[in-house]
Chain A
């Protein structure tokens, strides 16, 4: 087992696989959240019923534990590799211009990841924790009213700005992360690599725009 823990290739495999699972989750999560853009009455009942379904489905609960595990493993792995990097680098150059050979976001995956992680903690506290363990009023169908909780939070400008900053950081994280993950697990064919690179850019764009539209739409819609 020591080779698995100490080897950077296997550690990068773990980083890639957990990252790809989290990327897949982002699609599902976005698809669910886009219901918030429906007409208000319909959106409220549908979104609350959807949340109720997710909370009560054994398969979804099982997948949610995989999700929590992936978040923890991805984070712990990043910390481990960060320490390893520091050790491998030793003394850095006094005049460092190495950055010209790569994109800034590929060099700052850790910083982008920290922004996303801090946001996740806030996100979990504000929605997940309050939905699971807090007291929420019920809607007309007797489901917990998560919809109103989301709407009220996105009526505050500072919260929308925080959300947008975090999603932009996530977008850049995905822009490098998706194609990098495929390389880490060994996709070496040049044609498939080109395809994955383009798909990665499209994926990052769709996810970023998709998640940003929601708070901005709600904020503008509830200004009157």
Chain B
């Protein structure tokens, strides 16, 4: 099928950037979206043009590397999916597709569709871990964790840090990402002990990275590839308030 692409091209962080039009004639329905971009890049390289740069890694929907705005929606029109799991069967012959990078002040464009998401890494570095050396894997039954707690922690831990929550939020908030990381560790006995200090550090870092506030529109959960619950944001708010009121260093 024939696809008309309007792709955001930007040479570097300082460049203003603009949309460039490309036409692909031999796109098949079974191609993934990224394979379609590969096809475009092959064509561009053969012509001697610069390839369109975009992030990708596993192409199995689990690494969180790929992520672009497709027709104004993070990861495209399929809900709870990564860009790599979006296939061309979702489009019709002759469709025009707008492809843009995730846009937020905290995600500066590096080049074309690639953005710098290290602001999310900074939030993790500020406290998204258990600070004691846990050594080798212990006997599983030594630390009792109920099935419900394990499932709940894993639901939050499923966040792949792709940044779609930020891109989908009208305030460019990273509350879902931060809330998921805080909830994941707060639900488990190994992480629970440091919840107060961790929450304060991660929320403060989120502020420093220039993310916006959460206004509970719930758009982040709808577009999140892992369908992370917005209640993790409420959990973050609860833990933060509790820490500020009760926690003493």
A residues sitting closer than 8 Å to B (CB atoms) are 3, 6-13, 81, 84-85, 87-98, 100-103, 106-107, 109, 176, 179-180, 182-190, 193
Contacts and interface: CB of A to CB of B under 8 A. Distances in A.
B222 A102 contact: yes
Contacts of A176: 216-217
Interface string B113-149: 0000000000000000000000000000000000000
A184 B216 contact: yes
7 A-B pairs with the lowest CB-CB distances in the bound complex, closest first: A186-B238, A97-B72, A88-B212, A8-B213, A188-B234, A101-B222, A101-B219
Interface string B213-242: 111111110110000001111111111111
Contacts of B210: 87-88
Contact of B231 (A102, A185, A193): A193
B172 A98 contact: no
B104 interface: yes
B218 to A, nearest CB: 6
19 contacts: A3-B204, A9-B237, A9-B241, A12-B214, A13-B241, A88-B105, A89-B170, A90-B104, A90-B105, A90-B172, A94-B19, A94-B98, A101-B217, A106-B216, A182-B234, A184-B216, A186-B235, A186-B238, A186-B240
B104 A88 contact: yes
Contacts of A94: 8, 19, 98, 100
Interface of B: 8, 19, 69, 71-74, 98, 100, 103-106, 167-173, 203-204, 207, 210-220, 222-223, 230-242, 244
B127 to A, nearest CB: 15
A193 B232 CA distance: 12
B207 A6 contact: yes
A101 B168 contact: yes
Nearest to A97: B72
A10 B240 CA distance: 9
B212 A106 contact: no
A71 to B, nearest CB: 19
B238 A187 contact: yes
Nearest to A77: B213
Contacts of A186: 234-235, 237-242
Contacts of A193: 231, 234
B118 to A, nearest CB: 16
A102 B71 contact: no
